[in-house]
Chains A and B, each alone.
Chain A
Amino acid sequence: MQVVVELFGIARARAGVAQTTAVGQCLGDVLADLAGRFPLLAESCIAGRTLRPGFTANLGGRRFVTAQETALTDGDTVLLLPLDGGG
C-alpha cells in the first residue's frame, strides 16, 4: 500500500524534499523504502527499518509512533520529525 510521507527539519534537509510517497504494510517497511531512495536521509534519520535516536514519526498529525511494526493503511500520512521540540 502507498502512504504519503511529509518530512520536517533535518529530515527534510537530508531528503531534499518536503513530501514524497512510500510503500509498505508497516512503518518499518516505509522507513526501509525511504532509506533506499534517500541515502542522506538514511545516514541521519533511519537505521535499516527503524528511526535513529533523535527522530520520531507521527501518523496523520495525531499519534506519535516509532515501532517498526506499526501497521499502516493505504493513504495514511506519515510525518518524519526531529524528536526535540525545544526552542
Chain B
Amino acid sequence: MIAAMPPLALVVLALLMGGVWPRLMARQTRFRYTPQAALLAWQAVSLGAIISALAAAPAAIPSFSGGRGLGDQWVLLALVCLVSGAVLISLLVSGHRVGTRLRALRDDHLALVDLIGADGQGRDRSVRVLEHPLPTAYCIPGRRSRVVLSQGTLEQLSTAELDAVLAHERAHLQARHDLLLEFFTVVHEAVPAPLRVPVALDEVRLLIEVLADRVAIREAGAVHTARALFAVAAGRAPDEVMSGGSAAGPRLQLMAGAHSTPWLTLLAYAFALASVLAPVALAVWPFTM
C-alpha cells in the first residue's frame, strides 16, 4: 500500500496548489512589496499544481510492475490516470483557446489603431495617439507591438508624467508580461469554472502592474509615476466616485510605502523552490523504492 502513497499524495498536492493555496496567497498583500519574487512564487505554484497532476499517473506505474499484477489497485490506477489525462487535455485545450482569442483580439485592435491613430512624437509609429479627450494609455503586446495613448493623456500629463507612462508600458512590452499573464490565464481557464480562483488572477495582474510601476519609478521617479497614475484615474471620474475595479489605490499606496523587504523576498523564493521541488520529489520517489 506504501506504493500507492506518492500518486495519491500528488493528486492531493495538485488540489492544494491548484485551489487552496491560490486563495490564501491572494490575501498575502505584503508580497506586493516584492513583486518579482511574488510572481515567481505564483508561477511556481501553478507549475507545481500542473506537475503534480500530470505526474500522478506515471508515479503509479511502479505499484503495478514487478509481476504483482493489478490486484485490487485498479481503482487507484483509474483515478490517477483520469486526473492526469483530464489535466493534460484541459491544459492543451485552454492554451489553444486563450492563445487564439488573445491573438485575434490584438490583431483586430492593432489594425484599428493603425488606421485611426496618429503617429507619436517624432513620427514614432510604435506609438499611436487616439483623438479622444479621456486620458488612457495601454499597449498591444505581440510581434508588432504598439503603445496607445489618447490625446487626453498627452494634454493632461506633464512630460515627466508621460515618460513614466511610456516607461510603464514599454516595461510590459520588453519583459513580455503578456506571456506571463497568458500563462496564468491558460492555467486559470484549464480549471473547471466552479473551482477557478478569480482573486488569484486579479492579484497576479496587480503584481505585474506593480512590476511595471517599478520600472517607471526608476526612469521617471516615484512622484511623477504616482502623479501620472492619479491623473489617469481622476481624469475618468467626472463624478468623483468611480465604479468598476482597478488597482489605482493599492498601487499608489505601494509607491507611498515603499520599503526594502529582503526577508519577504527570500521567503517568496524559498516558497517557489519548494512548490516545484515537492511534486518532483513525490513523482520520482516511487521509482527509487
Specify whether A and B are partners: no
Chain A: residues with CB nearer than 8 A to chain B? none
Instruction: Please give the residue numbers on chain B whose beta carbons come within 8 Å of chain A beta carbons, in ascending order.
Output: none
